[in-house]
Amino acid sequence: MQVLLLGDTPIEIETDMLLRIGYELIYECPQPTPMILTLNVHSSRVSDLISPDHIVISPPIPTSGYRDGFGNWCSRIVAPPGDIRISTDAVINDSGLPDTVTPGAPQHAVEHLPEETLVYLLGSRYCETDRLSETAWALFGHTPPGWPRVQAICDFVHRHLTFGYQHARATRTALEAFNERVGVCRDYTHLAITFCRCMNIPARYCTGYLGDIGVPPSPDPMDFSAWLEAYLGGRWHTFDPRNNMPRIGRILIAHGRDAADVPISNAFGSNVLKGFQVWTYEVNA
């Protein structure tokens, strides 16, 4: 039991770790610009929020929300001309445990998969299963199905690509990442997802917060992170080909087929991102 002070109010909570999470985004728009924001903590983690992650917009403007086709919470706004600041600052309870590892999780035959997982077997904007299928079977056809196969894919992608923010490119696909052998976390994730789907394992793209908790701190500015979930043994399991190790403090925002389904913002008009900050770190009660 810990006591968290919210304003002047002490609140007793059961917790293993408290994380402070948030962001500040500043856009400049030359004219009124409709935007869709995907920035709220995923519904699967909402009950862990100690203080809410309400989106704060300055100057204040009307906001409406909806659930997209993947169950993510999205917000709609029309950004006014000039600068607009979009931010949140919240506290969330976390188990403090690393990602679960289940080496015995089996792979399902396609005919036995739940219908809602089948879309995650198909090619998508950044995941060209048709162009990487032959390569995937040549690389991983000999591996044991299930968890060992997904881990073998993550091991390969982790070794095959060289990470660097200077390599970031919003249009890079899984095939391009495979050929260029460089990228950022979204590229690692797209390539691993594509290989999983080629091997008949449903895999979906995840985005959220992941701080330097339990690992040496990175000197690079913090960003939102990307990882994947693979459907094995009747549920979704977390894999992270970029870090390729169980991590602590992973907070999901949204998931979809690939990064095209879960951008932090979609702007329907010209705009300039003038400021970008993300934070996630452990705090004391």
- Write down the domain spans for the chain: 2-96+264-283, 110-248
Other CB atoms within 10 A of residue 31 CB? 11
What is the Cα–Cα distance from 165 to 188, expressed in whole angstroms? 13
**What is the structure's pLDDT at 15?**
56
Cα Rg, the chain, nearest whole Å: 20
DSSP 80: P
94, two tokens? 């976390």
Nearest Cα residue to 228 out of 216, 236, 217, 219: 236
72, two tokens? 């993510």
**What is the structure's pLDDT at 138?**
98
Architecture of the domain delimited by 110-248: Roll (3.10)
Residues with pLDDT less than 50, the chain? 1-7, 11, 13
User: Are 55 and 37 spatial neighbours (Cβ–Cβ below 8 Å)?
Assistant: yes
Topology classification of domain 2-96+264-283: Immunoglobulin-like (2.60.40)
**What is the structure's pLDDT at 10?**
53
- From the centroid of its chain, how far is CA 79? 25
Q: Tell me phi and psi for residue 188, to 5 degrees.
A: -55, -45
**What is the structure's pLDDT at 284?**
84
Which tens digits make up the pLDDT trace of 167-208?
A: 999 999 999 999 999 999 999 999 999 999 999 999 999 999
User: Are 183 and 161 spatial neighbours (Cβ–Cβ below 8 Å)?
Assistant: yes
What is the Cα–Cα distance from 261 to 65, expressed in whole angstroms? 16
Pairing of strands 2-6, 64-67: unpaired
